[in-house]
Amino acid sequence: MTTFELPSYQLPKARKSRRGFASMDPERLRAIAIRGGKNVAAKDRSFSRDHALAAAAGRKGGVAVKPENRGFAKNRELAVSAGRKGGKAEQPHAPRGR
């Protein structure tokens, strides 16, 4: 009797893992995410209510990063394209060719 390998399409399917978020269906993931958002008290979601506080926190984080480690400091084209995308997202109805 000889042994041979089966073609890949005839190999038995591996069992799908039932562990972790990657194995969950989208409805279950959505239900978990909704519960997580509801568990945060409104007073603890201060960035959504106070623009100045959010801006100050972002500025503080930006200052903490050394200039040579900032992505836009290393790649001018990346900064230019991000600025253009931000401008288009902010003013989608603005006339072109400023």
Question: pLDDT of 21-58, one tens digit each?
Answer: 888 889 999 998 888 777 777 777 777 778 888 888 88
For the chain, give the number of residues. 98
Whole-number average pLDDT of the chain? 77
**pLDDT at residue 2 above 70?**
no
CA distance 56 to 58: 5
Q: Answer yes or no: pTM beyond 0.75.
A: no
Cβ-contact 16, 23 below 8 angstroms: yes
